[in-house]
Structure 1
Amino acid sequence: MLKVAVIGAGAISGAHIEGYLRFPERCRIVAICDIYPNKAQQRIEQYGLNARAIGDYKELLQEDVDLVSICTPPYTHETLATELLEAGTHVIVEKPMASSLEECDRMIEAQRRTGKRLSAVAQNRFKTPMMKLKAVLDSGLMGKIGHVQVDSFWWRGHCYYDLWWRGTWEKEGGGPTLNHAVHHIDALLWMMGSPTEVQAFMSNVAHDNAEVEDISIGMLRFANGSLGQVTSSVVHHGEEQQLIFQGEKARVSVPWKVKASNSTSNGFPEPNEELENRLQALYDGLPEVEHEGHAGQIDNMLTAIETGAPLLIDGANGRQTLELITAIYKSASTGELVKLPLGNEDAFYTRSGVQAKATHFYEKKTSLDNFTTQTITTGSSYTDRS
């Protein structure tokens, strides 16, 4: 029975708690930690946990805790993760993995040095439509992928950035490119690998209480000549999200949709129903994911600890995602075409470098210590419309 703690009792902590509670025979939550201990106690009471509420995470370093979920602001992730790993604890860290590539590298080095497990949250890999799409792409039935379109469309009100750590390059590390599109960018990299070049633009069109962007557009070139585009936004009403892959022979997407074409004698398209039916049959025949979202990632971590099996998402995956996001920020701030990979000599490699070089749109005007606990929305990007 693994002993588990959660650091950070904000909105996303509920997904972690509920995930652990799916496996009562394998793990038990023994502590919830938050700089506001009353918030930790509220979570304990909400879920009926037999756990302690603590205000200082350092108490966990002295205790026999096997696994910790870090659900705190991005700028704290590296310190917490490295100290916990050094104390002999496995770590799941919420997205984004950290607020700089330098911090990611320190976390990965601590993981290698200690031999403990480190997983960066990318829970949408563990959703049935996403798993099925990955398998369809891997089948090769579509031919070479020529273009990928990622729409990470979210909407947040002006007051969203009033929370003390949000909307600053120092503490949040960026806007929706980092903290919302991270899920879609992880999926893109999982399916396509990393691009070699990035050209990007960003702006702040609706949130003048934030330093960071509220919309960005990144254009990508891959080594094989394929192109891609990623739009990251918190100004899109409806929050309709999608990933579309255009292959030589067909297109598929999440939410699921399949279209395939043949060429007529003059080059115009006609439906290729035979290929559409093959792709649909492949998709329909793939299994459902047993544990979805955070529960799926927690199951993957528990299995890795119990059996030594590999993680689906490790520190290297988390870093790869942040590298592309950092490249988007660099290109959008400097106007440069950015080539990947980014080295440790790059001006955007460190958090201080990002703070100094990234475009500051506005000064933060409001800083609230806390919001009242409310339900958060997670978008509609993975609804299966088949």
Structure 2
Amino acid sequence: MLRIAIVGAGAISSAHIKAYLQFPEKCRIVAVCDIYSEKAEKLVAQYQLPAKVYKDYSDLLEHSEIDLVSVCTPPYTHAETSIAFLNAGIHVVVEKPMASSLEECDRMLEAAKNSGKLLSVVAQNRFTTPMMKLKNVLETRLMGPIVHTQVDSFWWRGYSYYDLWWRGTWEKEGGGCTLNHAVHHIDIFQWMNGMPAEITAVMSNTSHDNAEVEDLSIAIARYPDGSLAQITSSVVHHGEEQQLIFQGKKARVSVPWKVAASKSKQNGFPEEDSALELELQNVYESQPELKHEGHTGQIHDVLLAVEGEKDLLVDGIQGRRTLELITAIFQSASYGETVRLPLKPDSPFYTREGILENAVHFYEKKNSIENFAENTITSGGNN
């Protein structure tokens, strides 16, 4: 029976708690920690947890024997917190984004390697039936080589969203919508399509003059074979309609699911390739529904990995790749130049200090409140 700790009692912590509670035969939550202890106490009462409340995770490390921790704190604390638990011989699940900088990611990976413990970065959108089905379709190569990918990570957040004390600053949030919203789709993008060779990007703050960070970015990724991808990250899109579209030489597929295939007439104009469409549709429909989805699916994956039954689907290396793409978008948009990948330690955006010094500050943060009365989140329209 694995003993679980939840560090950070904000909105996302409930997703972790609900996930662990789905597997009472494998684990139990024994501790909840938050600098606002009343928030931790509220969670313990709400979910009737047999758990002790802690205010400081260092006290948790000293006084509680745990096997696995979920780190659900603001992004700027992810590295320090995760490394402390890894060094103590405790497996770690850390919320997205993995950290505030690639340098922090590398220290986290080193701590995981030295401790021999697992480090998993939350990417719950991988653990959905549509995404797994799309991944399987792409792996058939029936579409031919991918020539263009479209990533629309459209969210909407009101002005007051950035009033929360840690949001809206490069120091504490680490970035805006590209890092903290589009991270889901950028992770899916690199998981399905691999890492590009270069990034060219622009970003802006169109609607939130109470935040230093961007609320809209558009990036073009280029692959060595000449194929292109466009990635739009936003918290200014009403309806929160999100999609990933993969255009192959023979057909296109997407989430939300849609398939279309074309073949050439003698004059080069298209006609429908209904046979290929049917083949792709059959591949998609033949894939099983996932038993566990979202955070529950990822927590189940982690629990099985801790028990030695499988490898992690989303480890620290995967988490770092996603942050590398995001960092390249920030560097390109801030400097107005194309950035080649991979990013190396000499990149001006490799460290947190470098990001703070070089990233565009659109506005100064105007407001700072400790907590919102309503502690719920939305997860977007389609994905």
With normalisation by structure 1, the TM-score equals 0.98
Aligned-partner Cα distance in 2 for 1:50–1:81:
24
Aligned-partner Cα distance in 2 for 1:373–1:284:
39
Aligned-partner Cα distance in 2 for 1:5–1:234:
31
Hey, what does 1:373 align to over in structure 2? 374
Deviation digits for residues 71-94 of structure 1 (CA, Å, limit 9, x no counterpart): 001100010000100101000000
Q: Which amino acid aligns with 1:48?
A: Q
Contact residue 54 and residue 60 of structure 2 kept, 8 A? no
DSSP-derived class of the 2:307 partner: helix
Q: Which amino acid aligns with 1:36?
A: Y
Contact residue 10 and residue 375 of structure 2 kept, 8 A? no
The 5 Å alignment of 1:188-199 reads: 188-199=189-200
DSSP-derived class of the 1:232 partner: strand
Q: Which amino acid aligns with 2:32?
A: I
DSSP-derived class of the 2:323 partner: helix
The 5 Å alignment of 1:263-342 reads: 263-307=264-308, 309-342=310-343
Aligned-partner Cα distance in 1 for 2:382–2:348:
34
Contact residue 143 and residue 247 of structure 1 kept, 8 A? yes
Hey, what does 1:58 align to over in structure 2? 58
The 5 Å alignment of 1:156-235 reads: 156-235=157-236
Contact residue 11 and residue 373 of structure 1 kept, 8 A? no
Aligned-partner Cα distance in 1 for 2:39–2:374:
9
Hey, what does 1:6 align to over in structure 2? 6
Aligned-partner Cα distance in 1 for 2:54–2:33:
5
Unmatched tracts of structure 1, length 5 or more: none
Hey, what does 1:357 align to over in structure 2? 358
Hey, what does 2:87 align to over in structure 1? 86
Aligned-partner Cα distance in 1 for 2:79–2:49:
28
User: How far 1:314 sits from its partner (Å)?
Assistant: 0.3
Hey, what does 1:242 align to over in structure 2? 243
The 5 Å alignment of 1:9-28 reads: 9-28=9-28
User: How far 1:308 sits from its partner (Å)?
Assistant: 5.1
User: How far 1:265 sits from its partner (Å)?
Assistant: 1.2
Bigger mean CA deviation after superposition, 44-53 or 110-119? 44-53
Aligned-partner Cα distance in 2 for 1:298–1:5:
13
Q: Does 1:103 align with 2:87?
A: no
RMSD: 0.7
Aligned-partner Cα distance in 2 for 1:316–1:85:
15
Aligned-partner Cα distance in 2 for 1:357–1:95:
23
Hey, what does 2:252 align to over in structure 1? 251
DSSP-derived class of the 1:137 partner: helix
User: How far 1:375 sits from its partner (Å)?
Assistant: 2.4
Aligned-partner Cα distance in 1 for 2:372–2:54:
20
Aligned-partner Cα distance in 2 for 1:262–1:226:
20
Hey, what does 1:44 align to over in structure 2? 44
Aligned-partner Cα distance in 2 for 1:202–1:181:
13
Contact residue 151 and residue 242 of structure 1 kept, 8 A? yes
The 5 Å alignment of 1:137-156 reads: 137-156=138-157
User: How far 1:336 sits from its partner (Å)?
Assistant: 1.0
Q: Which amino acid aligns with 1:358?
A: A
DSSP-derived class of the 1:307 partner: coil
Q: Which amino acid aligns with 2:262?
A: S
User: How far 1:309 sits from its partner (Å)?
Assistant: 2.1
User: How far 1:34 sits from its partner (Å)?
Assistant: 0.4
Deviation digits for residues 189-216 of structure 1 (CA, Å, limit 9, x no counterpart): 0011101110000000000000000000
Aligned-partner Cα distance in 1 for 2:37–2:218:
39
Contact residue 7 and residue 73 of structure 2 kept, 8 A? yes
Deviation digits for residues 216-274 of structure 1 (CA, Å, limit 9, x no counterpart): 00100012211000000000000000000000110000000000011111111111111
Hey, what does 1:75 align to over in structure 2? 76
User: How far 1:61 sits from its partner (Å)?
Assistant: 1.4
DSSP-derived class of the 1:377 partner: coil
Deviation digits for residues 326-362 of structure 1 (CA, Å, limit 9, x no counterpart): 0000000000110000101111000010011000000
Percent identity of paired positions between Structure 1 and Structure 2: 64
Hey, what does 1:33 align to over in structure 2? 33
User: How far 1:109 sits from its partner (Å)?
Assistant: 0.2
Hey, what does 2:130 align to over in structure 1? 129
Aligned-partner Cα distance in 2 for 1:110–1:204:
36
Contact residue 6 and residue 33 of structure 1 kept, 8 A? yes
Contact residue 75 and residue 173 of structure 2 kept, 8 A? yes
Q: Which amino acid aligns with 1:24?
A: P
Aligned-partner Cα distance in 2 for 1:135–1:10:
34
With normalisation by structure 2, the TM-score equals 0.99
Aligned-partner Cα distance in 1 for 2:382–2:5:
30
Contact residue 34 and residue 40 of structure 2 kept, 8 A? yes
